[in-house]
């Protein structure tokens, strides 16, 4: 029984990219990275579900820069690390389908029983991999029990939790789970000495056709929040105005009054919003 975890890092919380609009990319010198919570949860789940002594390989796609991440997971308990890279990747956009194609090459070599990924909502590498490899897939996984070739998983659908049983070989994308174990100082030192195997992505890239896929034409900083402020005069009929005209209209309404009056206005507005969106059981149509 063996496991492979596809890992990636993400931009740091306080990182503010500088944009090079002419080259349609962020200046690499302005970027710094941190671990991704979902990937951490996937690594931890893989370590827990693999019998002691059996291999858990972490695989990243990227330049030498990503070795810090692989070494961290080695320190946490992964048994081997692989980095897939080619300088040609510097000039193409690493989208989900390309990442999955590159991972497929690694999977063919290592033939793991389980493939684990972090499910951070926007990524679809797991689904592409399932399509490419024909393995059984579970995404949005929030809990994993069992060990070995058969696992029980809880996957989160829209306000529903679905329990599924998977038999290896399979692909599991973890949305939420236990925090990654904290590596000891000794393990960190040992991981520093461990080698990262570098696989050349060049051959795989040659076989991937991008002809139909669109290209990113612009990259820009996100827009600042829209101003929705509007002063409200007059004290009467505010409930109706707040409910009917205030919310979602593109302006903020400022209310100053006595606490009882404001409580009445706030509750009326809140209950109107809440009652209009009462969640229902998707299976039965019942309210919880």
Considering only residues 79 through 138, tell me which ones interact with other proteins, judged by CB under 8 A.
96-97, 100, 121-124, 127-128, 130-132, 134-138
Asked if 17 touches other proteins (CB under 8 A), the answer is yes
Query: Is the CB of residue 85 less than 8 Å from the CB of residue 201?
Result: yes
Stretch that binds other proteins, among 42-50, 62-70, 187-195, 246-254 (CB under 8 A): 246-254
**Nearer CB in complex with other proteins: 116/191:** 116
**Nearer CB in complex with other proteins: 50/140:** 140
The rounded distance, in Å, linking the Cα atoms of 77 and 46 is 10
Asked if 244 touches other proteins (CB under 8 A), the answer is no
| Residue 186 burial (C-beta neighbours within 10 Å; 0-12, 13-18, 19+) | exposed
**Nearer CB in complex with other proteins: 193/275:** 275
Residue 88 in tokens: 């040609």
Q: How far is the CB of 210 from other proteins (least distance, A)?
A: 10
| Sign of the dihedral through C-alpha 275, 279, 282, 284 | negative
Query: Is the CB of residue 121 less than 8 Å from the CB of residue 142?
Result: no
Query: Is the CB of residue 36 less than 8 Å from the CB of residue 8?
Result: yes
Residue 232 in tokens: 């409200």
**Nearer CB in complex with other proteins: 95/187:** 95
Q: How many residues bind other proteins (CB under 8 A)?
A: 100
Site for other proteins in 205-224 (CB under 8 A): 212-224
**Nearer CB in complex with other proteins: 159/192:** 159
Stretch that binds other proteins, among 39-47, 58-66, 68-76, 260-268 (CB under 8 A): 260-268
Asked if 35 touches other proteins (CB under 8 A), the answer is no
Site for other proteins in 148-177 (CB under 8 A): 152-153, 155-167, 170, 176
Asked if 10 touches other proteins (CB under 8 A), the answer is yes
* H or E segment to which residue 156 belongs: strand 150-157
Q: How far is the CB of 80 from other proteins (least distance, A)?
A: 27
| Position among 48, 65, 181, 264 found at the interface with other proteins (CB under 8 A) | 264
Residue 86 in tokens: 């080619």
Asked if 285 touches other proteins (CB under 8 A), the answer is yes
Residue 260 in tokens: 């009882």
**Nearer CB in complex with other proteins: 56/100:** 100
| Position among 54, 90, 229, 235 found at the interface with other proteins (CB under 8 A) | 229
User: How many Cβ atoms sit within 10 Å of the Cβ of residue 266?
Assistant: 13
The rounded distance, in Å, linking the Cα atoms of 56 and 116 is 10
**Nearer CB in complex with other proteins: 162/206:** 162
**Nearer CB in complex with other proteins: 168/198:** 168
User: 3-state SS of 90-144?
Assistant: HHCCCCHHHHHHHHHHHHHHHCCCEEEEECCCCCCHHHHHHHHHCCEEEEEEEEE
User: How many Cβ atoms sit within 10 Å of the Cβ of residue 9?
Assistant: 19
């Amino acid at each position: 029984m063996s496991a492979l975890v596809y890992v990636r890092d993400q931009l740091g919380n306080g990182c503010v990219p500088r944009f090079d609009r002419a080259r349609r990319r962020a200046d690499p010198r302005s970027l710094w990275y941190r671990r991704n919570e979902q990937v951490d949860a996937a690594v931890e789940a893989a370590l827990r579900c693999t019998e002691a002594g059996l291999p858990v390989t972490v695989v990243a796609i990227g330049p030498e820069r990503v070795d810090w991440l692989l070494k961290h997971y080695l320190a946490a308990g992964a048994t081997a690390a692989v980095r897939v890279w080619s300088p040609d990747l510097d000039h193409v956009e690493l989208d989900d389908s390309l990442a999955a194609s590159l991972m497929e090459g690694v999977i063919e070599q290592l033939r793991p029983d389980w493939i684990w990924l972090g499910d951070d909502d926007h990524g679809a590498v797991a689904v592409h991999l399932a399509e490419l490899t024909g393995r059984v897939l579970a995404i949005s996984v929030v809990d994993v029990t069992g060990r070995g070739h058969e696992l029980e998983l809880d996957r989160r659908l829209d306000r529903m939790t679905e329990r599924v049983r998977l038999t290896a070989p399979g692909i599991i994308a973890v949305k939420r789970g236990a925090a990654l174990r904290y590596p000891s100082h000794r393990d960190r030192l040992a991981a520093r000495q461990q080698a990262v195997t570098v696989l050349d992505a060049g051959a795989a890239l040659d076989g991937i056709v991008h002809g139909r896929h669109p290209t990113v034409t612009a990259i820009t900083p996100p827009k600042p929040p829209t101003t929705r402020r509007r002063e409200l005069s007059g004290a009467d009929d505010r409930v109706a105005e707040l409910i009917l005209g205030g919310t979602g209209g593109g302006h903020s309404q400022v209310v100053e009054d006595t606490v009882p009056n404001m409580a009445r206005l706030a509750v009326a507005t809140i209950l109107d919003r809440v009652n209009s969106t009462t969640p229902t059981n998707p299976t039965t149509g019942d309210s919880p």
